Amino acid sequence: MQKRTYFDTHDGPGWPDKAWLEPYFLTTAGRSKFFESGNDSWGLKAYGAGGTDHLLPHTGRIDLDLTILGSPEHGVLLCYQKSGADGMETHYSKSDLTRLHEWVKTMHGDLMPIGLFIPFEWAWRAVKEFLETDGALPKSISWIASRDIPAGAFPDPYMQRRS
């Protein structure tokens, strides 16, 4: 399995040490550093999970992706994607689902549902578990499958840019 990280100054092969990542989620200084670069989204990826690294994408190779999107006011939105021969499954961190039609604007200008943002401490538990289990969907937080998210929770990006 090949691992890749895009997180602050770590952009390349492998996953960072948990001790390096932890302050970004659990300390005030780390949370400030989270956003200093003008970015609010990062990711951890694994290509060829479960012994499928000899296969090509979309023909049996299993790829995993944990996207981490932060907001100083609302916490962290996690998006877990698993793709393979059976298609793709997507799950989002789940918080207050009554706030799915309230949004926060990302640094890239996209609107994201506040109801999917969880506290930094919870996000750290999930990120840590993702690293420790070689990319399995973390069980330490609640998730909602993308197919179960009501229409309109993610506004159309084209319409966002026009307004």
Burial of 112 (0-12, 13-18, 19+ CB in 10 A): buried
Residues 6+ apart with CB under 8 A from 38: 107
pLDDT higher than threshold 70 for residue 154: yes
Q: How many CB atoms lie within 10 A of CB 91?
A: 19
pLDDT higher than threshold 80 for residue 32: yes
The average confidence (pLDDT) of the chain is: 91
The pTM of the whole model exceeds 0.85: yes
Q: How many CB atoms lie within 10 A of CB 83?
A: 16
Q: Which residue ranges make up each domain of the chain?
A: 2-162
